[in-house]
Structure 1
Amino acid sequence: MGRQLRSQGRTQPQVNPVQAGIFVDTSVWSLALRRDAPTDHAAVALLREALLDGTTVVISGIVLQELLQGFHGPKDRARILERLRVLPLLEPERDTYVRAAQLRNTCRRRGVQLGTIDALIAQLCIEHDLALLTVDKDFEHAARFVPLQLAI
């Protein structure tokens, strides 16, 4: 059993397993980190509240990669890395990929088109009992057919 992880601190904590908390999807981080985005979005407010009240806030390597690919320039990348390096980084294991494929197939049979990366993120959340904070409607549709908890 892992220990409760917090978003504060200066080093990247180990994650395995995380109990209770939120996994923040790229869609929310993009809103929160963009200088030209409105900061009053409900998902951004929930993220801010979670960070301030000590809720475990988790990301994965793929979310970090997506964020770094979406922002241009070394200053933006450095700013993102600095802000996110204190968060637990949740990484999938071999069985996670197998179950993510099953999850995606379940969704597809039900008429929900969930992408490969989104299926992996959903499976990570399910395995680690994390609520997913996202503004991506595909997850909302998937949550009707798989045990995915959404933060909003």
Structure 2
Amino acid sequence: MKVIVDTSVWSLALRNNSKVENSFHIVLFRDLITDGRVALLGAVRQEILSGIRHTDQYNMLKNYLHAFPNLELDVEDYELASEFYNTCHHHSISGTNTDFLICAAAVRRNYRILTIDKDFENFSQYIPIELVQ
């Protein structure tokens, strides 16, 4: 099964920090990459690349991410994302448009989501997402 990896995990994996090298999420992330099971949304790609100050680092990361094709989205993904937003908002749970787009794309394709962002646990109380545990 494919897994959509949230920006939070990508950010953790891209840090030069020996403490996170062997964390559960990073080990699993590496295994998913090796198995070719990582799905990357364009919005997540944008978040990963945003805010990088040095052109050389930006270009290196951009080239690295070329190994991960974009998960193609369609109108139904955006509509379902807005439904998920509305459902969660009705229950006083907030999230970003990218978060709900990840949720919609995962649900429509029967993918799981790998994240360290606790917001997704809150979402899962009201929308049918499946998180990697």
SS in 2 for 1:23: strand
- Rounded Cα–Cα distance in structure 2 between residues aligned with 1:115 and 1:51: 25
Query: Is 1:41 aligned to 2:58, yes or no?
Result: no
State the one-letter code of the partner of 2:125.
Answer: R
- Rounded Cα–Cα distance in structure 2 between residues aligned with 1:78 and 1:36: 21
Match of 1:117 among 76, 95, 98: 98
- Rounded Cα–Cα distance in structure 1 between residues aligned with 2:38 and 2:17: 24
* TM-score between both structures, scaled by the size of structure 1: 0.79
Aligned residues: 132
Question: Which residue pairs with 1:13 in the alignment?
Answer: none
Question: Which residue pairs with 1:62 in the alignment?
Answer: 43
SS in 2 for 1:29: helix
- Of residues 68-77 and 22-31 in structure 1, the stretch that sits farther from structure 2 once superposed is 68-77
Runs of at least 5 residues in structure 1 that lack an aligned partner in the other structure: 1-19
SS in 1 for 2:40: strand
Spell out, residue by residue over 1:18-49, the C-alpha distance to the aligned partner (whole angstroms, 9 max, x if none).
xx211111110001112246222221111012
Query: Is 1:79 aligned to 2:91, yes or no?
Result: no
SS in 2 for 1:89: coil
Query: Is 1:32 aligned to 2:13, yes or no?
Result: yes
* TM-score between both structures, scaled by the size of structure 2: 0.90
State the one-letter code of the partner of 1:122.
Answer: C
- Compute the RMSD of aligned alpha carbons: 1.5
Spell out, residue by residue over 1:88-115, the C-alpha distance to the aligned partner (whole angstroms, 9 max, x if none).
3113212211111111111112232122
Higher helix share: 2
Spell out, residue by residue over 1:109-151, the C-alpha distance to the aligned partner (whole angstroms, 9 max, x if none).
2232122221111111111111111111111110121110111
Runs of at least 5 residues in structure 2 that lack an aligned partner in the other structure: none
State the one-letter code of the partner of 1:100.
Answer: A
